[in-house]
Structure 1
Amino acid sequence: MKFKPETLMGIAFSIAKESKCIKYKVGCVIEKDGSIIATGCNGTPTGSLNCCQVADANKWDMNNPAHRLEHREWSEINEIHAEMNAIMTAKENIQGANVYVSVEPCNHCAKNLVQGGVKSVTYSHSKGAGAEFMKRHGVSVRHITFEDNK
């Protein structure tokens, strides 16, 4: 079955809702040869405290700049990005696959997608700087506006 890009992006946004991060909820879908071979959202390793649990324990308020900084530092140490969760759970090699992610990949994820040999990456929200890196390495990159129907 051939999925439309908007359908796959909608799935990425649905997967993002499963994230337990209090600040950014990111979802990723990897499609190859008409089949979805992986999905992922950002979060902590299985069995670890998740971001929401840590935020509750620390009483983080994301309107407070100091708490946002604490979250960022904690997240950099503890959370796995949606793209990496999808890559690690893929049913098959991602070479030649198409990736749909709700937020532009960061440079670290972009490097892993390039190394994995993906053919294209489509994203909705600009945040990272990974698009230019992927383009320089031959990955077709497309930014589409997608409004999640929450």
Structure 2
Amino acid sequence: MKRTETNNEINYIPVKSPLAWDEYFMLQAMMASFKSKDPSTKVGAVFVDENNHQVTMGYNGFVAGIDEEKLPWGKDPAAPLEFQKYGYVVHAEANAILHSKENLKGTKAYVTLFPCHECAKLLASSKVNEVIYLSDKHCETESNRISKKIFELAGIKYRQLEIKDTIINEMHKHFQVLLEQVL
């Protein structure tokens, strides 16, 4: 039990087992995805070194420094690329790599969506050791198959992480307690 004092009252909050590192960093990637303005697909990425220290993070969004109001969020495959978001969006993994001040060799990448083949090339070129992903909603696509081939040829391990409902429920309760303390 952890003792907290508020308004001269003592509250005891049961301390649960800490999150596993995989769960912790995937939740960090999920939080990073909240920064994305993409109305349909919000993706986050967090890179971690061998000591479990976060090295960099990213989320999907338009190219930094350009007027986003002039760019489309549409994704109609019948429309020319010029009128779709795909021509302008930088993926979460790419943003994390671009903004890293550290060498990413030997890191783990936690991503909320399995990387496309373009990001797989960047991850392999950055010498990432492992990719841990949450969703594989594009598992039947050619891009996904190419990504897996790149990872296998580069010796990059990849695995899907399942966030248990109990963790989501605990997070919800935890945030409720925190919000009650500040509101």
The TM-score normalised by the length of structure 2 is 0.67
**Greater CA radius of gyration, 1 or 2?**
2
Question: What CA distance in whole angstroms lies between the structure 2 residues aligned with 1:35 and 1:72?
Answer: 42
Distance in 2, Cα, partners of 1:120 & 1:82:
16
Q: Unpaired segments of 5 or more residues in structure 2?
A: 1-19, 173-183
Aligned-pair identity in percent equals 27
The number of equivalent residue pairs is 139
Question: 1:70 Cα deviation (Å)?
Answer: 6.8
Q: How does 1:1-150 map to 2 (within 5 A)?
A: 4-32=21-49, 33-50=51-68, 54-55=72-73, 68-69=76-77, 73=81, 74-126=84-136, 127=138, 129=144, 130-146=147-163, 149=168
2:180 is aligned to none
- Structure 1 unaligned regions, length at least 5: 61-66
Read off the aligned partner of 1:26 and give its amino acid letter: V
Q: Give distance in 2, aligned partners of 1:131 and 1:82.
A: 18
Query: How far 1:38 sits from its partner (Å)?
Result: 0.4
Separation in 1, partners of 2:79, 2:60: 14
Deviation of 1:22 after TM superposition, in Å, equals 1.3
TM-score by length of 1: 0.80
